[in-house]
Amino acid sequence: MRNRQNTERPAEERKEKSKERLRVFALYLILAMVIVLLIWMNKETASNTIGFDNENVYALAEGWTMQYGGKTLQVALPLDSSAEAEEPVTYTRILEAQDSYCNMIMFHSSHQRIKIYLDGELLYTFGYGQSTPVHSSVGSAWQYTRLPEDWEGKELRIETRGVYDSYSGNQEIVYLGTKTSLVFMVAKQKVVSLLVDLFLFIMGVLLIMSSFFFRESHTVGRIRYLGIFAIVTSTWILLKSGVGQLFTGNILMSMNILYLLFGLMPILTISFLLTFDSFLKSLFMRGLYWFCVVCYFVMQFLQFADVTDYTRMVSVNHINFLLIVLGMAGICIRKKARGEKIEDLSVFVACFAFAGFGAVDIYRFYFEKTMQSNVGFTQAGLICFVCSLGYSVVKQSSEEQTQIIENKTLKKIAYLDILTNLPNRTAFENQMEKYRTGDADKRPIVMIVDLNGLKEINDTYGHKAGDVAIIRIAQLLDRHFGQPLHTYRIGGDEFCVLAEGEKDEIFRQRIRHFLSDVKEADKEYAFTFSAAYGYVKSGEEGIDKAFICADKKMYICKMQMKQERTEEEA
């Protein structure tokens, strides 16, 4: 019969797995059908376009005349100029009539003061008359201004004055359209960046929230540092990409927040890495952490002391990131040379991959000089970094947490009597050793309690009845001699109470209540339910002699109770 059941069970399991595979196949088939239908319907459907972005935007890239330093050149946008800081550079062209209605122009500027003229009439200024507590850039922003109704055929002139040599005279493409169409253009250009930043921000928040489910300090720190890093970096990318201007027009504040966050990134990176043993053991990485902290405070001091501004100190952070990568490479090389296994390999791989993506954008920062396109690779690297490490760290932390719980459970079991849930003999011996080697002033009351007639109960009523008697006496002891006292099961039918700091009168009162409950419990069973006891307060002779003395008193009590029972039966 058993062999038949064993044969039927695998057959049922195979049948169930076959049904599950069929359900999964059906789901995939439906998804494939939905994709095919969407492609086909998109191809065959024709309708009027009524989207919010159906107004045209015109890119004015050709036909510009650039003037600076006494030179006049015919140029196309975008253009990098070799002008020096504060040197005026002008771009002019005739605005031609377009196919649809337009009334605004817009372009992006990087660390430049801007003036816009139409046929010599000033329409717009940016960066002039700003009030800041310290010397700083005028900021990088989308510049836009409304045109008069008769703009067609007039000359548009844009005058720029760069705050720094590296950005002076640079001009990006000028766009012509309505305010709605121009805003939608920026939104469509940045929608992917915005969604990615939102995803990273939410990931950071979720990581921080998940950290509250763990107790180990290094696990909590590891997850929180990664979460904070994701939030800080995603906010930095949002501000740096220019999409933040869709939500706020306070350019100077946005720039200050951007640099403050960027300065925190090396510190947060090392803080996260130092939660792993591979990095914590490295003297270089620990020293680099404090170096980055000092750099951050020095940068703030130089900024607010009006010595130099954040933009000129960006290279300090780039150097710090380079030192982090070199430190990681040094750890790998040293372990490889010693033939040691590289621990936390996933962290090294994720960090090196993120560094590779970031290096591309750092190169573009120094050689392309545009605020609009030099964070894309960093963004992609950050997604890989946060997602891979977030999953890895949470998984590893969960496994560590499970192991800790298992260890605690095993440790608890090792010191717990399974039948009565009281501390066992091992726990008792550990506590006795503490009294032997610890403070001599601690002189607890020692009481030995023995369940009477356990052998007779087992022989007459069975071992199950004997277990019931043991459990009940343990419950009564725990009720009357539990916290703050300690009760142990030290043998089959023998228990010990250690009462530290207990007054004699209160302890005797506990005994009276305990014996009263034992007497009441005796009425519940067919067998005789009683217990002998003996106690003594330990003194200078030591805990072991107190235990022996209490055990002798318990034995005397047992003999007296046996004699009394014999006399009653007679």
Residue 159 β-bridge partners: 90, 115
Q: What is the pLDDT of residues 282-306, one digit of tens each?
A: 999 999 999 999 999 999 898 888 8
pTM of the model: 0.65
pLDDT at 95 over 90: yes
Q: What is the pLDDT of residues 366-403, one digit of tens each?
A: 776 554 556 778 878 888 888 877 777 767 666 766 77
For residue 8 the two structure tokens come to 């039927």
Cis amide linkage into residue 78, ω under 30° from 0: yes
Where does the pLDDT of residue 104 fall: very low under 50, low under 70, confident under 90, or very high at 90 and above? very high
* Residues sharing a CB contact under 8 Å with residue 521, sequence separation 6 or more, in sequence order: 472, 476, 529
| CATH of span 58-177 | 2.60.120.260
- Interval 108-116 mean pLDDT: 92
Q: What is the pLDDT of residues 39-60, one digit of tens each?
A: 888 777 766 666 666 788 999 9
Picking from 388-392, 442-446, 483-487, 495-499, which range would have the lowest pLDDT averaged per residue? 388-392
* Residues sharing a CB contact under 8 Å with residue 558, sequence separation 6 or more, in sequence order: 450, 452, 532
Q: What is the pLDDT of residues 456-480, one digit of tens each?
A: 999 899 999 999 999 999 999 999 9
pLDDT at 405 over 80: no
- DSSP reduced 3-state for 108: strand
The whole-number pLDDT of residue 12 equals 75
pLDDT at 506 over 80: yes
Q: Delimit the domains of the chain by residue range.
A: 1-46, 58-177, 192-409, 425-569
- The topology (CATH level 3) of 425-569 is Alpha-Beta Plaits (3.30.70)
Tell me the C-alpha distance between 486 and 473, whole Å: 15
What are the residue ranges of helices labelled H in 415-490?
A: 425-437, 454-461, 463-481
Cβ pair 134, 303 in contact under 8 A:
yes
Tell me the C-alpha distance between 102 and 156, whole Å: 14
The whole-number pLDDT of residue 349 equals 86
Nearest 5°: the CA angle 494, 497, 499 is 170
The whole-number pLDDT of residue 542 equals 84
Where does the pLDDT of residue 26 fall: very low under 50, low under 70, confident under 90, or very high at 90 and above? confident
Cβ pair 160, 113 in contact under 8 A:
yes
pLDDT at 440 over 60: no
pLDDT at 1 over 90: no
The whole-number pLDDT of residue 371 equals 44
* Residues sharing a CB contact under 8 Å with residue 328, sequence separation 6 or more, in sequence order: 273, 279, 348, 351, 352
